[in-house]
Each structure stands twice: as structure tokens, then as C-alpha cells.
Amino acid sequence: MTDLYVYVSEEDLKHPLTKRMLLRMGLVTAEDVDTYYKDENKLKRALFELWGVSGMNREAEYEAEVKEHRTRIAKEIVKCIRYCGIERLDKDWCTSAMASEEASKRFK
């Protein structure tokens, strides 16, 4: 079985939608919502939650690389840190509308 790769971009972490989601989840406060990604501990906590909702397997290894890529939220081409990991393959994820086509096929 081939691994399926997904990523979260550093720029996605700064996007207003991400900030609103983290506020609603209680992962950041209104005071630090604009700077949380500069604090390593807060960033790791936010990444852990974002990986779950973006389909990244939080228990697998991941890489942080500076690379030109398209952000997931704004669909803009940027050059920044991209956190890349393996897609979740549990039934809840694979049967969700957010799973990749390849992951969805595994539960059809």
C-alpha cells in the first residue's frame, strides 16, 4: 500500500480562516491569534490540530521543508515552510468529503 502525502503550509497558519478555527477550538487567545505561530509550543499545538483536520496522520513522521508551493486555503503560490506528512487512512477520514480521492477509494 502506497503512502499518500498531505501538507500544511506556514502561510495557511496565518490565514484568517485558520485563526478563527484555532480561536473557536480554544487553542489560541484573541491576544495571541496574530502571533501564535512565532511561539514554538503554540505552533506545535496548532499544527497538531490542523494536521488532524487536514487529513495528516498525527502519529507518523513529518518533514518541514522550505519550498515553493500552493497554499491549501488561499491557493496562492508561496515559498515558505511546508509541513508534509502521510494522509490518515482511518475510516472516519476516508469516508469524509475532505479525504483525497485515493484515500476515499480504500473504503468503497
Q: What tens digit of pLDDT does each residue of 41-85 get?
A: 888 788 888 888 888 988 888 899 999 999 988 899 999 999 899
Task: Give how far Cα 9 sits from Cα of 39, 60, 90, 106, 108, Å.
Answer: 16, 18, 23, 26, 30
How many residues in the chain? Answer: 108
SS3 (DSSP) at 9: strand
Statement: residue 1 has pLDDT above 70: no
Mean pLDDT, rounded, of the chain: 87
- Percentage of the chain beyond pLDDT 70 is 97
The whole domain housing 70 covers 5-105
pLDDT of residue 35: 86
The predicted structure's pLDDT at residue 86: 92
Look at the chain and report how many structural domains it folds into. Answer: 1
Q: What is the pLDDT of residue 48?
A: 81
At 68 the pLDDT is 96
